[in-house]
Amino acid sequence: MKEKIYTYLCTIPKGKVVTYKQIALYLGNPALARFVGNVLHKNPDETLYPCYKVVNSKGCLSSHFAFGGIEEQARRLEKEQIEVVHNRVDLEKYQYR
């Protein structure tokens, strides 16, 4: 299941984000959202698997982003032209569907 999560991350286009629940639904079980978060926190290759593109269902960034904290996650998203306001992204505008 971990490999499916990491593979899914590679499909997210530049300038888009997904939610933990969205990945859990991709896995077939919306109750796996917390599991997805735990897997992403142990991401073996942050460059290959862009976990910074994952936010919660309200568009909020992770306060415990594993690769430099919330400020680093915001910086990486902004580098892809994703606007971050008060540590949140607009899912209507940026969510990959």
Give the active site residues: 51
Q: Tell me how far apart the alpha carbons of residues 78 and 15 are, in angstroms, rounded to a whole number.
A: 9
Region of residue 69 (left: phi > 0; alpha: psi -120 to 50; beta: else): left
Q: Got the DSSP string for 39-92?
A: HHHT-S-TTTS-GGGEE-TTSBPPTT-TTTHHHHHHHHHHHTT---SSSB--HH
